[in-house]
Structure 1
């Protein structure tokens, strides 16, 4: 039997390092052969596969199991129509498989995308069944089964029941039609718009496989700073070609829409959402889109933010703008994802308050097919932010989490920063919106406010993709882990980021515990390290303007104050930090009362958010007993030291990973150490120029003068 044989394999299983350098293209779907004495018995007992191939999704699921088990076992799994021996795998739905129909499995609660993996007996033979209500569920189940094998899990007495917690699990590509990727650090866009629709790069199928392995079911193809041409017939045909590739893998295509499209490509004189001609134009455009892409997912919109057009240009609200598009899409089942990343053209008293101020009065005024897409924090994907105050503040409106997978403020592709802990920290944060335990996860999955009148059942999570044309997809091998972690948490927001990291390491590199434990440790410490060497104790938005590369806390230029670091840190001779308490901008009042009281009290606020919510003297006594200045320098230095530890750990693991990938990670860690030191030294030099304080005893001075750091320029940094 497959399960019994695998148990014996687990006892002595080892994974042989690759004999040749790998380039990372296979991601976590490497399916490298298990090399053990027991492998022959395992291959013999993996006796047959019974799976339908009547639909493209069934073919994809069957092919994935054959590819995966063939690679892992080094032998082809024979196909069959009936169970004739122990070790069979039966996969499908009651409609596609008479064997599964005969078993009468209870699949009512798994939904359209869920699945059941169970050890059963069929005709006296021990069998593993992968069953679902729909074909896509069986495909997801096939990937789950392969993940168990890849990570060395027991297959005995399986009884796995899975279904996604969120309905929409979407990647947002910030890809432009000219091939450039905004905030992309893995090369050009993977979409070759010039060759589409006539040439379909095989990579598009690989992309779909990788996303399906995580349960991602939507792809927004173009940048939120959108070009209206994306909605023209020529480009809709190109999007339709991609939709055809993605469809067997359960992925629907979405597009970012430019709000002024009726003017730019429709010939109208206005884009006013209440204008009858504008409403007719969008209804006709929706009809056209669905004729070309029948399963089109919907539209993502960035409006009245960073210069983008929107309904406020006509004195209308975000709800009126979103509802215009929602009404056009509703007959076709489409969804509008309306971004809440907005701030007014006027100088605000605190940009962190803008989204709350604009959106909370609109709670309950959006159509049922609108998701308001909210960034994890109120500023902009910083190394650490408190959760966005909108979460928990709009009980009648479905809110969609927006995380950034591409590391715009976290060292681009060269810094090893595992974002799983950042995502987990946000999802587990308690909003106190309806009492203790009102976590952000419960807000976005609908369980917190599902009984509120007027609340629709629409839920979702979006991730700004880090995918590009680089051979390893993400610009670095470890950045693949952030794509992986996002997908796993979009499926189940309650998963542990540590458990996800271990899964990814085992699938991507090795199951050898001598490798797994230290690498997972590196990953779990990496996010806190980058917070320390970039933005410790609640500091934020200290990077260079435009390119966002490197420290520039002295920057006071630019067209508006809230694009500059000095606006956020407000450091002077007496202290540092942004006062968001009642004595300042009062942004803490946007949180539920228990949190507002905690955040607003300088003695009770979590120290990780101290300088986010308070302007405090340099000699403020920290919980460590050190004054703030000493603690700040300590944190900067600690961040650099953590990167040094990561380098030393990785250097000692060369025996467990192929030379090619080991060398690239080593080179990137060297870059990270240099740049972490740069962040520390430049920041300390600037703060000293304001406070005039000596360094704490034992702390090394900056390597250069402040003038040197201020003279550095990076006009061609990637992603700009």
Structure 2
């Protein structure tokens, strides 16, 4: 029999344990992304919405429409704290949501939201449009905005809005920094993880309608019947959210998988093999989207192995896909190991002369810049130079050159910088965006792709704030006129907090984060400062199996100065742009500082527009960038009471790591470049605590992991 004191003690312990358990259970682990649907704390907004939403009326019975109604029901019930029912017909004028499909509605994937007879009506010409409109309404409510401001019509500016996953069959992800692959190939197709549905929901909520499930450095295994049935299980989940499934293919599959003597795209047997394989794919995945191809790049096989062109290879696959309305997405990321060439020029040199030679169901996918997803690049000169061939945009969400999952980088300004760039191909206003969306050249197919930053980590993206890059990509893929500021505010309100002061502070950090990173990493147009891991600073790296896989190839540091001369006195890469576009970069005296070393080799003593010499300006940028991470830490620390404790602690730890590594990169660059400049670090800046040799040893230690 318990004594009263013992009973009280045990009750208190139980209460403490319960409180701890509840706090742990309520911690935000980031899994819900921007679809949190927490109960609206703004009483005025919640009262107004509660009066407006009493039911959801759904006419139709497709998987996509049912998911639209289900999402609204789930979201409204949680946001308003009251149960919302789904009915087949409107309940008089009792204020509800009516979902309708009409051929007279917005074209394509577009939708409209209107107020009619006291009801909120979401109308689209396709089921997917109704789904997008439902998510848009929930997004509006999550931000506590007046209901009347949700009224309007919108359609996506780009047709194919895709994520490209660089996932491998053994579960690894090339350039993946958030755990292993989402796709559990060893369990599929028998076991379908519920997380696949949440992935599809997240994509549909921002208008993404395509997924390439495997790495562009593709294994032919994905074309076997075994793996096609695994992919079909994923496609079965995705199609219920309006998402088509695509595969990266291994170009040599007719030989490696089919046993043929050749994979020559003009060989009848090779063509027949692809036709039969494509028929097999569509028999298993009826709504299959098509193929993504990396060929004759970085060791991957391709048509040039047989003396054929990229158009020959793409058109062979296009022929096989055409009966099923499938598309070929052929990557323009191609460059050869020529010590006398400029990799900057490679994509243009390979593809511009092929304009008009691709089949009508082929899209050439171009990286935003001419090198390789650098923290800042000029736009690729291919944009504007292939008016008869649809050009798709390829952005990278996963932070291959942006600090992996350790550094907080908001990428929307990078995306917008490229999309808003003017090519002048038909005069002023010929932006990259107008090319990608087809409005300038009237492309029949339009595409934008983001290399995914998702993985098996519970919060999807490793760094919690990297979720914003996935979100921003989807929003810009739908409407590239949106501003990075608006998207940052929207994402923060959906994901972190609606407290106005905190929203403003977080937005400020996000909008400055990319420039801060550039300052301590690649200021003034430096590029490719590290190889191998793509992470550790190695500006001294000069050994590789090919010259363009070294750091010195890109920065060209010597005793005279720094930078890659791409004017007529150098590689003349600027000739690939229209004169009006290149004019701003042509003269070192007037070239904007962010692009100076991209196009010019500048003397260490050269006085820049900032009033500093090149050397002093570099030191200023490296030191200011590293110091600015301290500012990020301070701003974030001040939000402790406004952000979920688990999220706040996670980001705080990553910012501490980011500052440590910013100093690492700063010291590596400054000490290395000083061996050429022979100039002192300006007295205003503290001297590095390590020698160059000590920094090199730290890098070697990192690379040995």
User: How would you bin the TM-score normalised by the shorter chain?
Assistant: over 0.9
Relative distance call for 1:226 and 1:158 in structure 2 (3 A) is closer
The 3-state SS of whatever aligns with 2:152 is strand
Task: Kindly indicate whether the alpha-carbon contact (under 8 Å) linking 2:338 and 2:547 is maintained by their aligned counterparts in 1.
Answer: no
Q: Which moved more, 1:518-527 or 1:148-157?
A: 148-157
- Partner residue, 2:678: 692
The 3-state SS of whatever aligns with 1:478 is helix
1:59 is aligned to 2:66? yes
Matches within 5 A, 1:73-88: 73-80=80-87, 81-88=89-96
Matches within 5 A, 1:169-568: 169-450=161-442, 456-543=443-530, 545-568=531-554
The 3-state SS of whatever aligns with 2:69 is helix
- What's the CA shift string for 1:560-612, capped at 9, x where partnerless? 11111101111011100000000000001111012233322111221110000
Task: Kindly indicate whether the alpha-carbon contact (under 8 Å) linking 1:58 and 1:92 is maintained by their aligned counterparts in 2.
Answer: no
Q: Cα distance, 1:196 vs. partner?
A: 0.4
Correspondent of 2:652 among 622, 646, 666: 666
Relative distance call for 1:266 and 1:716 in structure 2 (3 A) is farther
Q: Cα distance, 1:158 vs. partner?
A: 4.4
The 3-state SS of whatever aligns with 1:255 is strand
Give the TM-score of the pair, scaled to structure 1: 0.93
The 3-state SS of whatever aligns with 2:364 is strand
Q: Which moved more, 1:399-408 or 1:602-611?
A: 602-611
Q: Cα distance, 1:421 vs. partner?
A: 0.3
Correspondent of 1:30 among 28, 36, 57: 36
Q: Cα distance, 1:243 vs. partner?
A: 0.4
Counterparts of 1:393 and 1:605 in 2: how far apart (Å)? 23
Counterparts of 2:109 and 2:481 in 1: how far apart (Å)? 18
Correspondent of 2:114 among 81, 102, 118: 118
The 3-state SS of whatever aligns with 1:654 is coil
Counterparts of 2:666 and 2:548 in 1: how far apart (Å)? 23
Task: Kindly indicate whether the alpha-carbon contact (under 8 Å) linking 1:165 and 1:445 is maintained by their aligned counterparts in 2.
Answer: yes
Counterparts of 2:207 and 2:329 in 1: how far apart (Å)? 19
Task: Kindly indicate whether the alpha-carbon contact (under 8 Å) linking 1:633 and 1:684 is maintained by their aligned counterparts in 2.
Answer: yes
Counterparts of 2:433 and 2:294 in 1: how far apart (Å)? 24
Q: Cα distance, 1:46 vs. partner?
A: 2.0
Q: Cα distance, 1:482 vs. partner?
A: 0.3
- Partner residue, 1:682: 668
The 3-state SS of whatever aligns with 1:156 is helix
Relative distance call for 1:163 and 1:696 in structure 2 (3 A) is same
- What's the CA shift string for 1:674-709, capped at 9, x where partnerless? 111111111100011121100112111122000011
Task: Kindly indicate whether the alpha-carbon contact (under 8 Å) linking 1:119 and 1:158 is maintained by their aligned counterparts in 2.
Answer: no
Q: Cα distance, 1:47 vs. partner?
A: 1.7
Correspondent of 1:577 among 553, 557, 563: 563
Q: Cα distance, 1:157 vs. partner?
A: 6.2
Aligned Cα RMSD in Å?
Answer: 1.6
Task: Kindly indicate whether the alpha-carbon contact (under 8 Å) linking 1:53 and 1:62 is maintained by their aligned counterparts in 2.
Answer: no
Relative distance call for 1:260 and 1:512 in structure 2 (3 A) is same
1:93 is aligned to 2:93? no
Q: Cα distance, 1:281 vs. partner?
A: 0.6
Counterparts of 2:700 and 2:265 in 1: how far apart (Å)? 41
| Alignment gaps of 5+ in structure 2 | 1-22
- What's the CA shift string for 1:209-254, capped at 9, x where partnerless? 0000011000000000000111111100111110000011010000
Q: Cα distance, 1:44 vs. partner?
A: 4.3
Counterparts of 1:467 and 1:241 in 2: how far apart (Å)? 19
Task: Kindly indicate whether the alpha-carbon contact (under 8 Å) linking 2:536 and 2:703 is maintained by their aligned counterparts in 1.
Answer: no
The 3-state SS of whatever aligns with 1:662 is helix
Q: Cα distance, 1:40 vs. partner?
A: 5.0
| Alignment gaps of 5+ in structure 1 | 1-16, 96-105, 451-455
Counterparts of 2:384 and 2:274 in 1: how far apart (Å)? 32
Q: Cα distance, 1:87 vs. partner?
A: 2.2
Q: Which moved more, 1:48-57 or 1:602-611?
A: 48-57
Relative distance call for 1:574 and 1:615 in structure 2 (3 A) is same
Counterparts of 2:311 and 2:622 in 1: how far apart (Å)? 43
Task: Kindly indicate whether the alpha-carbon contact (under 8 Å) linking 2:337 and 2:547 is maintained by their aligned counterparts in 1.
Answer: no
Relative distance call for 1:572 and 1:315 in structure 2 (3 A) is same
Aligned residue pairs total 681
Relative distance call for 1:84 and 1:211 in structure 2 (3 A) is same
The 3-state SS of whatever aligns with 1:281 is helix
